[in-house]
Structures are given as C-alpha cells and as structure tokens.
C-alpha cells in the first residue's frame, strides 16, 4: 500500500515516515501544497495523510482541487486546530477522516487502515478469501487458522490483492502501490513475490490473467 | 477633510452663520422693500389728495379759459419757488395740438413739467416717476378732465412732489435696518458660538475621560454627562468592563495553563536526571496529561473569546447537517445510525455559528463515542428557547456522574481522553448564552443531552 504523506514540519514528517514504514507502507512525501497536489494528481496512492497548514497552497485547497479533478483517493487530514467549523470544512472539502494534533501513531495507523479498507468497499478489518484470512490490524495472515509466515513484500502484494478480491490487478499497478516513487522499480520482482506466495498458499488462489495481471480467486 | 470642515465645532458654527446671514439678508431686503412701498404709497396718497383739491378748484371763465385761484389752495408750498410741490395744467386739443403749461403753480417758477402724451381713460389717475425742476426726481400724478365749457379740448392736471425727502427717509430707514440686522447677526453668532461650545463641551470632557482611561489612571469613564451622551458612556463602560473581564480571564487561563504544564515538565525533568527505568512510558503519560491541559484551556479560551454580539442568528439545520456529515465519516467504522428527527427549518439559535457548532459538535461526538448503534437528534422551540436533544443507546452515565461531567474545572487528571471535557465545554458555552444543558436518561437506553439555548425568531 502506498501513502502520500504531506506535512511541512520536518520532525513530525520524519516520525510519520518511520511509523508508516514500520507499518509496511510505501511512503511518498511532500512538504508543501503545490508538490502535494502535483504528486496526488499524477501518482497512484492508496491513501493520503494531509496536513492542513501548508506553505504555498493550503491543505484544504489541495484537497478541493483533487476532488474537483475526480481523484477519489481516501484522505486523512491532520489539523492543529480543534474546532468543529474546521472539521466540517475539511469533511465538506472531501476529506474522509480527520485527526487532531497531537495524536498517537497507533491511532493514525488504525484510521488509515480503516480508510483504505472502506475505499475497497470492505466493512471488516479482517479480510477473508476462502480459508485465507488477513487481519489488517495485526498484519497476521492465517490459512485454516494456521499463521502463514510472509516477508514484508509478500505481505504487501497479498494485502493489495485481498483489498480487491476478484479484480484483475496489473503488475504495473502492483508495482505502483508497493513501492514509493523514488524506488528502483522492476515489475519482474512482482513475479518473484507472486511465485513465492503461490508456494506458501493454495496455488490456485492467485490466478494469472494472461497479458493483464493477477486475480485473487476465492475457492468455490 | 480640511482643518475647517474636520472640526465638528467649526462645521456647526459655519453652518449656523451661513444660515443666519442668509435669513437676515432676506429679512433686510423684504423689510426695506416693504418700507419703500409703504412710504411711496403714502406719498402717492398725499399727492392724490392734492390733485383732488386742484381738480375741485379748476373753473372756466366765459371765454372758456381755465382758472385756478392760487389763494384757494391751502398748501403754502404751491407758492414757494422750488418748494418740492408743483402743479401744472396742460391743454390737450382734439386736433392733436397741445399746449403745455397753460397754468402752473408759482413754485414751478420758470420751469415746467414734461409728460409723455398718453391715451388714458377720463378720470383715472396715472402715476409717473420723472424729473422735475432743477432735475430733481419727482413723482407725478396726472388726471385728464373735460369741461362742458370747452367741448373741443381736454385738460390734463398734473401734480408733482419731490422724491428727495422720501428717498432720504427710505435711505435712512435702510441704514438703520442694516445696522440693526448686523448687530442682530453678531449677537446671534455669539449665541451660536456659545451654544456650540456648551453643546460640544461633553465631547471634550469625554476626550479627557478617555485619556484618563488610556493612561490607566481610572478603569471607567467618569463624570456627569448630558442625557444624550450618557448612553454612549454607559455602552463604552460596558465595553471596557467586558474587555477587562476578557483580559482577566485570559490572564487567569494563561496562568493556569502555565502552572498546569509545570507539573508534567517537572516530573519529566526529574525522571530524566534520575535516569528512570521506564522513561518512555513516563514521558508518554506526562505528554498525555499536558495535552489534556492544553485541550481544556484552549476550549475554555474559546468560550472566553465568544463575541456575544446582539442580533446574531444562526439557522440550526445547516449546522446540524454539516456536523452530521463529519460524524458519518468519523464514526464510519462503528456503523452508527445518526437520525435527525423532522424539524422546523426556521429554527435558529440567537448566537454565533462557531459556538453552536462547538456545542453540537461536542454533543454529537460524545454520543457517537458511546452509542451502540444509534444516535437520535431532535430540536424544538419552547417559547423563546431552542431545545436540542441528542440521544444515544450507549451505556449512559449515572446520576452522580452527570454533575461531575458538567462541572467547570472538573479534575482533568481523572478525565479519560475524549470524555467529560467536551460536555463541560458545552455547559460553559450554553451558560454563556444564558442557556443550559441537562443530562437525562434516554428513552433509547443511553444518555440524553438536552441543550437549551436562546432562540432567534
């Protein structure tokens, strides 16, 4: 899952980056509204953490521009001000949730997980596909109740596919959502991860759609 | 604005003076004209009487020659040369030949009166201004008469009176009039000046009083002011009082906050220097405590900053709608049903929108935190009061806890994050507007918060 982190305070941004990395997210960053708008407009993200008080272009304006351009990426706004008029303004500008500073990293991660899940139309934090279950809260994957040990990249690929059950996901899309922008991308590595996942999980679970990508197929 | 029009005193004075001068000028012109008319009419009347007398004395002898016996005319001025009163008889023949000065008063001496011939009805008196003997301006009255003795001829009788005396009288009157009016103008101007000075004196007193306040010598505007200015003074004093109160509250808040933050800081400093084993956990706990203090004080300062301007009106429905959009997002995970009971769209709160948002936001958020599945919102008018109820189906709180939750200055260290404080802010804000909040047992199981606020028509 790939997150756009927009925060102008370098210390807080570094802390957030660390927390998001530790939670397994690929993170792209912007420290002003103009860069943030550009990135959100041109790249594919699974969620955005957006500070409202930004230099050059304020967070609300960035959000409104994205929404006017039809970008539906879930957005969590961060605000230092704790008044309701700002919260209403944020939600009305198209935010999906807000968090008031200061906050706990755990709360931010929980809300982010929920946003990403809801964006995929999934109600429960426990994603299931047949006997395979992925708990987005703990990052645990179980097959018939038994924990499956996955590397972080394997987990990221599986998590992305499980958020889109039955949908065809191209390698490029997977690459885009698993790596940050400045990462050396190579879609061949995706094949490697999928190959390893097939060994650890029922082989028929991840289907290759020739020329298009992969699809998670629930067992009949 | 120039120096002249910029001063209220100058403006009032100039305006009054201009108006006075115009009024007096008009009075002078009208009075002068009236006097002249009157004098002239009187002079004319005198001359008419003389003409009548003259007409009565005109007789014709057997030869048809006109005769006027000078002795029969009583006024001695007829006799004295250039006395200023003259008469003359002209003959106007039917064939157009006229003879001027057939008979003349002795006072005319060697001159005569010259008049244009005009066609005039018999018996009528015609008035002319012209030049008489020695080129003096005279008023001439003429009358044409016919005599049975001289059927071929008409006779014109002229009486002339010197206008110099009349003119002098008029001039004298005008002089006196102008002088009187000038004196009147001067007196009125002085009166106006006095009025302006006395009338505006309270403003200077006000300025002095303000100066005293600004220099910190007194807290309020003091002194006796006229009843027109006193309301202003009262209002201003009220502003000063509110201001002082706000400043005092802000100082108290800042002081309280500073003191409140000192404790966690001291604990952390102590722990750091002693090399405490569980430093991260301790810092976390102290930071959380500091955060609660800051939240509480920010909220309180928001209450203190409420403007409380009169005449404000905030429609309820849009504010509720906006907050419900927030609630649906924020509590999306919990799949709560926020239900808005049908309400009158015209319901409005007599106060600031931000304050209403703050109160309802906290109530809804609190309900959202505790509800199991549903939050119900209703609003109704009760006389001058707007009553908003927020029900949830959560665990509710005991009667004993209810007062503690609403109490001002409830001990913050005991309040769990996200609870208690919000309701205390609502209570503070509601009371600031003369409203109140009551916590009751809800019909759907949990807590029912009943917020009463002043209603705007």
The pLDDT tens digits of the residues spanning B415-439 come to 444 445 678 778 888 888 888 999 9
Q: Nearest Cα to B125, choosing from B107, B140, B109?
A: B140
- The pTM for the full model equals 0.57
Strands B385-392, B447-454: parallel, antiparallel or unpaired by DSSP?
Answer: antiparallel
Which among A82, A91, A114 is the nearest to B326, CB-wise? A91
| SS3 state at A206 | strand
Kindly tell me if the per-residue pLDDT of B412 is higher than 50.
no
What is the signed CA dihedral for B191, B195, B197, B201, rounded to 10 degrees?
160
Q: In the CATH scheme, what is the code of domain B314-454?
A: 3.30.565.10
Kindly tell me if the per-residue pLDDT of B143 is higher than 80.
yes
User: Is A84 part of the contact surface with chain B (CB cutoff 8 Å)?
Assistant: yes
CA dist B190 and B187 (Å) reads: 5
Cβ neighbours around A154 below 10 Å, total: 19
Q: Nearest Cα to B43, choosing from B84, B79, B73, B72?
A: B84
User: Which of the four pLDDT bands, split at 50, 70 and 90, describes residue B178?
Assistant: very high
Phi and psi of B319, rounded to 5°? -65, -45
User: Is B302 part of the contact surface with chain A (CB cutoff 8 Å)?
Assistant: yes
Beta-carbon contacts below 8 Å between A and B: 44
Partner-chain contact A91 B325, CB within 8 Å: yes
pLDDT of residue B123: 65
CA dist A12 and A135 (Å) reads: 28
- The ipTM assigned to this model is 0.75
Partner-chain contact B357 A85, CB within 8 Å: yes
Question: B391: which residues sit within 8 A by CB, 6+ positions away?
Answer: B367, B375, B376, B377, B378, B442, B443, B444, B446, B447, B448
User: Which of the four pLDDT bands, split at 50, 70 and 90, describes residue B3?
Assistant: low
Phi and psi of A76, rounded to 5°? -105, 120
Helix H, strand E, coil C: the string for chain B is CCHHHHCHHHHHHHHHHHHHHHHHHHHHHHHHHHHHHHHHHHHHHHHHHHHHHHHHHCEECCCCCEECCHHHCCCHHHCCCCCCEEEEEEEEECCCCEEEEEEECHHHCCCCCCCCCCCCCCCCEEEEEEECHHHCEEEEEEEEEEECCEEEEEEEEEEEEECHHHHHHHHHHHHHHHHHHHHHHHHHHHHHHHHHHHHHHHHHHHHHHHHHHHCCCCCCCCCCCCCCCHHHHHHHHHHHHHHHHHHHHHHHHHHHHHHHHHHHHHHHHHHHHHCCCCHHHHHHHHHHHHHHHHHHHHHHHHHHHCCCCCCCCEEHHHHHHHHHHHHHHHCHHHCCEEEECCCCCCCEECCCHHHHHHHHHHHHHHHHHHCCCEEEEEEEEECCEEEEEEEECCCCCCHHHHHHHHCCCCCHHHCCCCCCHHHHHHHHHHHHCCCEEEEEECCCCCEEEEEEEEECC
pLDDT of residue B319: 93
Task: Enumerate the β-bridge partners of residue B348.
Answer: B315
Strands A146-147, A97-100: parallel, antiparallel or unpaired by DSSP?
Answer: unpaired
Kindly tell me if the per-residue pLDDT of B410 is higher than 50.
no
Domains of chain A with bracketed CATH: 2-119 (3.40.50.2300), 126-216 (1.10.10.10)
**Which of A83-97, B80-94, B378-392 shows the lowest per-residue confidence on average (mean pLDDT)?**
B80-94
User: Is A98 part of the contact surface with chain B (CB cutoff 8 Å)?
Assistant: yes
Please tell me the total number of residues recorded for chain B in this structure. 457
User: Which of the four pLDDT bands, split at 50, 70 and 90, describes residue B348?
Assistant: very high
Which among A84, A91, A114 is the nearest to B358, CB-wise? A84
To the nearest whole Å, the CA of B276 is away from the closest chain A CA by 23
| Residues of chain A positioned with their CB less than 8 A from the CB of B325 | 88, 91-92
Which among B329, B332, B361 is the nearest to A84, CB-wise? B361
User: Is B298 part of the contact surface with chain A (CB cutoff 8 Å)?
Assistant: yes
Partner-chain contact A97 B330, CB within 8 Å: yes
User: Which of the four pLDDT bands, split at 50, 70 and 90, describes residue B331?
Assistant: confident
Residue of chain A minimizing CA distance to B287: A102
> What is the percent of chain B where pLDDT is above 90?
23
To the nearest whole Å, the CA of B322 is away from the closest chain A CA by 6
| SS3 state at A184 | coil
What would you report as the CA-atom Rg of chain A, rounded to the nearest whole angstrom? 18
| Residues of chain B positioned with their CB less than 8 A from the CB of A84 | 323, 326, 354, 357-358, 360-362
| Residues of chain A positioned with their CB less than 8 A from the CB of B299 | 82
Across B212-229, average pLDDT: 83
Q: What ranges do the domains of chain B cover?
A: 1-57+165-226, 58-162, 240-305, 314-454
To the nearest whole Å, the CA of A110 is away from the closest chain B CA by 10
Query: What distances in angstroms separate CA B321 from CA A21, B348, B377, one per listed residue?
Result: 37, 14, 11
Kindly tell me if the per-residue pLDDT of B165 is higher than 80.
yes
CA dist B109 and B405 (Å) reads: 124
Residue of chain B minimizing CA distance to A80: B295
Interface-testing mutation among A84, A104, A105, with chain B (most B C-beta atoms within 10 A): A84
pLDDT of residue B334: 83
Which tokens hold the place of A70?
Answer: 């039809």
Which among A83, A92, A123 is the nearest to B325, CB-wise? A92
**Which of A76-90, A152-166, B42-56, B294-308 shows the lowest per-residue confidence on average (mean pLDDT)?**
B294-308
pLDDT of residue A188: 76
Kindly tell me if the per-residue pLDDT of B72 is higher than 90.
no
| Residues of chain B positioned with their CB less than 8 A from the CB of A137 | none
pLDDT of residue B306: 65
Kindly tell me if the per-residue pLDDT of B118 is higher than 70.
no
Which among A83, A91, A92 is the nearest to B354, CB-wise? A83
CA dist B154 and B90 (Å) reads: 8
Kindly tell me if the per-residue pLDDT of B335 is higher than 60.
yes
CA dist A82 and B425 (Å) reads: 13
Tell me if B445 sits within 8 A of B386, measured CB to CB: no
Is the peptide bond preceding residue A102 cis, with omega within 30 degrees of 0?
yes
Partner-chain contact B323 A96, CB within 8 Å: no
Tell me if A125 sits within 8 A of A113, measured CB to CB: yes
pLDDT of residue B457: 79
Report the mean per-residue pLDDT for chain B. 83
Q: Nearest Cα to A167, choosing from A197, A117, A212?
A: A212
Partner-chain contact B329 A92, CB within 8 Å: no
pLDDT along chain A (220 residues), means of 10: 92 91 91 93 92 90 92 90 84 90 86 89 81 86 89 88 87 84 72 88 86 83
User: Is A92 part of the contact surface with chain B (CB cutoff 8 Å)?
Assistant: yes
Q: Nearest Cα to B107, choosing from B50, B66, B60?
A: B50
User: Is A85 part of the contact surface with chain B (CB cutoff 8 Å)?
Assistant: yes
Can you count the helices (H) and strands (E) in chain A? 8, 12
């Amino acid at each position: 899952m790939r997150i756009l982190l927009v925060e102008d305070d370098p210390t807080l941004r570094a802390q957030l980056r660390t927390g998001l990395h530790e939670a397994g997210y690929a993170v792209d960053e912007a420290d002003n509204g103009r860069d943030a708008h550009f990135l959100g407009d041109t790249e594919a993200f699974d969620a955005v953490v957006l500070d409202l008080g930004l230099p050059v272009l304020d967070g609300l304006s960035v959000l409104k521009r994205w929404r006017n351009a039809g970008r539906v990426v879930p957005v969590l706004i961060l605000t230092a001000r704790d008044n309701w008029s700002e919260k209403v303004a944020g939600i009305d500008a198209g935010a999906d949730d807000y968090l008031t500073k200061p906050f706990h990293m755990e709360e931010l991660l929980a809300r982010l997980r929920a946003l990403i899940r809801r964006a995929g139309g999934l109600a429960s934090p426990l994603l299931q596909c047949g006997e395979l279950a992925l708990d987005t809260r703990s990052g645990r994957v179980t097959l018939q109740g038994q924990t499956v040990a996955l590397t972080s990249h394997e987990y990221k690929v599986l998590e992305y596919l499980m958020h889109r059950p039955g949908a065809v996901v191209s390698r490029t899309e997977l690459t885009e959502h698993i790596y940050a922008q400045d990462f050396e991308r190579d879609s061949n590595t995706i094949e490697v991860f999928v190959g390893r996942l097939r060994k650890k999980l029922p082989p028929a679970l991840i289907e290759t759609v020739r020329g298009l990508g992969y699809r998670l197929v629930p067992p009949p | 604005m120039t120096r002249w029009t910029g001063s209220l005193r100058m403006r009032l004075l100039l305006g009054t003076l201009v108006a006075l001068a115009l009024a007096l000028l008009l009075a002078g012109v009208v009075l002068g004209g009236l006097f002249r008319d009157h004098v002239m009419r009187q002079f004319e009347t005198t001359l008419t009487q003389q003409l009548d007398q003259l007409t009565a004395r005109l007789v014709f002898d057997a030869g048809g020659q006109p005769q006027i016996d000078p002795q029969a005319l009583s006024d001695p001025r007829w006799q004295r040369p250039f006395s200023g009163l003259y008469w003359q008889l002209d003959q106007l023949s039917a064939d157009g030949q006229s003879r001027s000065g057939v008979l003349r008063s002795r006072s005319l001496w060697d001159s005569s009166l010259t008049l244009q011939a005009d066609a005039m009805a018999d018996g009528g008196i015609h008035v002319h201004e012209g030049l008489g003997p020695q080129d003096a301006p005279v008023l001439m009255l003429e009358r044409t008469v016919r005599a049975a003795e001289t059927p071929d001829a008409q006779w014109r009788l002229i009486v002339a009176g010197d206008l110099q005396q009349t003119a002098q009288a008029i001039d004298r009157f005008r002089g006196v009039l102008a002088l009187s009016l000038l004196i009147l103008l001067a007196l009125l101007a002085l009166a106006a000046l006095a009025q302006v000075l006395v009338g505006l004196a309270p403003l200077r007193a006000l300025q002095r009083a303000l100066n005293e306040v600004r220099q910190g010598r007194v807290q309020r505007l003091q002194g006796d002011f006229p009843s027109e200015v006193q309301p202003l003074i009262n209002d201003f004093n009220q502003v000063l009082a509110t201001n002082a109160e706000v400043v005092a509250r802000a100082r108290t808040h800042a002081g309280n906050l500073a003191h409140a933050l000192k404790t966690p800081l001291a604990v952390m400093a102590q722990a750091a220097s002693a090399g405490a084993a569980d430093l991260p956990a301790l810092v976390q706990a102290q930071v959380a405590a500091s955060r609660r203090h800051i939240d509480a004080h920010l909220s309180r300062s928001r209450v203190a900053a409420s403007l409380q301007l009169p005449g404000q009106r905030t429609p309820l429905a849009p504010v509720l709608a906006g907050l419900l959009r927030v609630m649906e997002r924020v509590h999306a995970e919990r799949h709560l049903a926020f239900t808005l009971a049908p309400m009158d769209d015209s319901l409005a709160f007599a106060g600031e929108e931000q304050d209403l948002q703050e109160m309802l936001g906290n109530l809804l958020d609190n309900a959202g935190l505790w509800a199991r599945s549903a939050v119900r919102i209703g609003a109704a008018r009760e006389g001058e009061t707007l009553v908003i109820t927020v029900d949830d189906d959560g665990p509710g709180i005991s009667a004993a806890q209810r007062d503690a939750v609403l109490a001002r200055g409830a001990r913050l260290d005991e309040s769990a994050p996200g609870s208690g404080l919000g309701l205390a802010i609502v209570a503070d804000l509601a009371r600031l507007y003369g409203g109140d909040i009551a916590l009751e047992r809800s019909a759907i199981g949990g807590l029912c918060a009943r917020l009463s606020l002043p209603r705007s028509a």
